[in-house]
Chain A
Amino acid sequence: MRNLTLKYSVKFVCVLLLQVLLFNNIDFLGYISPYIYLIFFFDLPVNFKTPYSMLLGFLMGFLVDIFGNTMGVHTFACVLFCFLRNAWIDLLFSALNTQQNELTPIRVGWIGYVKYVTGLVFVHHAALFLLEAFSFDAFAYTLIRILANTVVSILLILFYEYFRSK
C-alpha cells in the first residue's frame, strides 16, 4: 500500500513537472501544445474511487493552472475528466471494473485502449479550450484548436503507453 502511494506520488510530481516545464513550452504552429499530464490519470488503478481521483484531478489542474497563469481552466477540465473516467471505463470494459490493476493496451487490446484515451482526452480538451476562449466567438478557430491538440495529445499518450507496455 505504502509502496503504491509512493509510486503514484512520484509519478504525480514527475508528470506535473514534465507538463509545466517542457510541454507547456511547445508551441507547434502557434496553437498546439500537448497536455500529457493526463497520463497520470489514465494509469491510475481501475478501481481507484472517483471521489479521490476527482480530488487529485483538482490538485493537478490547480497546479498546472498556477504555473501556466490559466487559473481555473485546467482545474475545471481535469475534474470533469476524473468525474467521467470511471463511468467511461464501466461503459467500455464493464468486465474489468473491479480490478485493482492499471489499464494497459495489452490487457484491453489496442482498439479498446485507443477508445478509452480518445473519448476522455477529447472531453478534457473541449472543456479546456472552450473555457479558455470563454465565448463562442471565433468558434471555428476554437474547434480547430480542440481537434488539433486532441490528436497531438492522444498520439503522445499512446506513444508513451506503447513504450511502457513493451
Chain B
Amino acid sequence: MENLLQFFKRFGLFLQFLLLETIAIVLLVYFNGYQRSVFMSSAGLVTGVVYQGMDAVGGYFHLRDVNEKLSQENAELKNEIARLQALSSPSVVQMDSIAYATGDSVLYQPFYYLSAHIIQNSINRQQNYITLDRGANDGVQQDMGVVSPQGVVGIVKSVSSHYAMVMPIINVQSHISCRLDASNNFGSLVWDAVDYRYATLQEVPGHVKVEIGETVSTSGFSSIFPSGIPVGKVVDVQLMTENQFLDIKVELSVDFAKISQVNLIGFKGKYELMTLQ
C-alpha cells in the first residue's frame, strides 16, 4: 500500500497526462469517422444556437453579395418559367397527340428543393464541414445533396432536429461522382486538402481527350444529385504514369470562402431505389 501511494505520488502527474491524452485520442478517432455524432459538433443544440446568434450579426456583411446572387438566380428561374409556359401553351398541347396520364413519369418531378442558410463554415482544414440552420424538423435527411446557385457544395452527413452538418467537396473524405460534359466520361471528384478553390477528378481513363476549360458537372449516378449540376471547369490535365489514369485538376465553381445561402436537394424515390439496389 505504501509503495502504491509512493508510486502514484511520483507518477501520478504522468498517469493523469496519459489518461487525458488517451481520452483525446479516443475522441479523435471515434468522432472523426464518417458517421459523426450530432450532439458533440457544431450541429449540436448549444453550439448551433451560439453560431446562429453570431450569424445574425455576421450575415449583414454578406447581404450585398447574397442579393446579387439571388437576383441572378431569380433571372434564371424567370427564364425557366418562360420556357415552361411556352411548352404548356395550348398550341403545343393541341399539336401534341399524346395525352399525359396522371402519374405519368414524364410529369413526375423526382427531386425537390429546400433552402437553407450556412451558419458555420471552414475552408482551411483537412476535414472541412458546413453547418446549416435547417434540420430534421424542416425535412432535412442524411445524404441529401447541397447546392448553391453556382454549383455543387456537398452532401448532408448528419442531421439534428434544427441543424444539419454538410461534408463539402473540400473535405478529404468527400467523393462525388462527376462527368466531363464534352466527352461524357465519368470520374470521381476528390480533394487533396491544399487549396479550397481546386479539386481533382480521378478515375478517368488515359485515352480520353480532355480540353482545358471544359466544364465538369454531376453524373446523376447516385440518388443524391440530379445530373448536370455544375461542379467546375478543367484547368490542368496530367497522365498518371503508374496506372494510366488521368489526374484532372478542376477549378470549383463554388467559392467556399463566400457561400452563405444554399439549397438542399431531396430525392423522393430514394428509399425505393435503395431497396431495389
Known A27-B123, A33-B124, A50-B13; judge A73-B28 contact (CB<8 A): yes
Listed stretches A76-84, A101-109, A113-121, A154-162; interface member: A76-84
Whether B25 contacts A66 by the Cβ 8 Å rule is no
Q: Is B21 an interface residue (CB 8 A)?
A: yes
Contact of A131 among B28, B50, B165 (CB under 8 A): B28
Known A66-B40, A66-B41; judge A61-B24 contact (CB<8 A): yes
Q: Considering the chains assembled together, what is the distance between the CA atoms of A35 and B21 in angstroms? A: 20
Whether A75 contacts B129 by the Cβ 8 Å rule is no
Contact of B29 among A30, A62, A69, A72 (CB under 8 A): A72
Q: Is A138 an interface residue (CB 8 A)?
A: yes
Contact of A133 among B29, B47, B126, B196 (CB under 8 A): B126
Q: Considering the chains assembled together, what is the distance between the CA atoms of A115 and B28 in angstroms? A: 30
Number of interface residues of A (CB under 8 A): 35
Q: Considering the chains assembled together, what is the distance between the CA atoms of A33 and B123 in angstroms? A: 10
**Most chain A C-beta atoms within 10 Å of own C-beta, residue among B16, B20, B47:** B20
Q: Is A92 an interface residue (CB 8 A)?
A: no
A145 to B, closest residue via Cβ: B124
Whether A72 contacts B13 by the Cβ 8 Å rule is no
Known A66-B40, A79-B17; judge A72-B47 contact (CB<8 A): no
Interface of A is mostly: helix
Whether A141 contacts B41 by the Cβ 8 Å rule is no
Whether B16 contacts A72 by the Cβ 8 Å rule is no
Q: Considering the chains assembled together, what is the distance between the CA atoms of A55 and B13 in angstroms? A: 11
Whether B24 contacts A79 by the Cβ 8 Å rule is yes
Q: Considering the chains assembled together, what is the distance between the CA atoms of A55 and B92 in angstroms? A: 74
Q: Is A70 an interface residue (CB 8 A)?
A: yes
Question: A59 CB to closest chain B CB, in angstroms?
Answer: 10
Known A24-B122, A33-B124, A138-B193; judge A76-B25 contact (CB<8 A): yes
Contact of A71 among B32, B51, B124 (CB under 8 A): B32
Question: B30 CB to closest chain A CB, in angstroms?
Answer: 8
Q: Considering the chains assembled together, what is the distance between the CA atoms of A79 and B54 in angstroms? A: 28
Question: B170 CB to closest chain A CB, in angstroms?
Answer: 10
Q: Is B230 an interface residue (CB 8 A)?
A: no
Q: Is B70 an interface residue (CB 8 A)?
A: no
Within 8 A of B (CB), among A5-32: 21, 24, 27, 30-32
Q: Is B200 an interface residue (CB 8 A)?
A: no
Within 8 A of B (CB), among A59-100: 61-62, 65-73, 75-76, 79-80, 83
- Contact partners of A69 in chain B: CB under 8 A: 36, 41-42, 122, 127, 129, 165
Q: Is B68 an interface residue (CB 8 A)?
A: no
Q: Is A45 an interface residue (CB 8 A)?
A: no
Whether B31 contacts A71 by the Cβ 8 Å rule is yes
Question: A147 CB to closest chain B CB, in angstroms?
Answer: 15
Whether A75 contacts B23 by the Cβ 8 Å rule is yes
- Contact partners of A30 in chain B: CB under 8 A: 123-124, 195-196
Within 8 A of B (CB), among A120-144: 131-134, 138, 141
**Most chain A C-beta atoms within 10 Å of own C-beta, residue among B51, B123, B125, B194:** B125
Known A69-B41, A69-B129; judge A83-B17 contact (CB<8 A): yes
Q: Is A42 an interface residue (CB 8 A)?
A: no
- Contact partners of B127 in chain A: CB under 8 A: 69-70, 132
Q: Considering the chains assembled together, what is the distance between the CA atoms of A32 and B124 in angstroms? A: 7
Q: Is B98 an interface residue (CB 8 A)?
A: no
Q: Is A54 an interface residue (CB 8 A)?
A: yes
Which B residues form the contact surface with A (CB < 8 A)?
12-13, 16-17, 20-21, 23-32, 36, 40-42, 44, 47, 50-51, 54, 122-127, 129, 165, 192-196, 257
* Contacts A/B (CB < 8 Å), 19 sampled: A21-B54, A30-B123, A51-B12, A54-B16, A66-B41, A66-B47, A67-B42, A67-B50, A69-B36, A69-B122, A70-B127, A71-B32, A72-B24, A72-B25, A72-B29, A75-B20, A83-B13, A132-B125, A132-B127
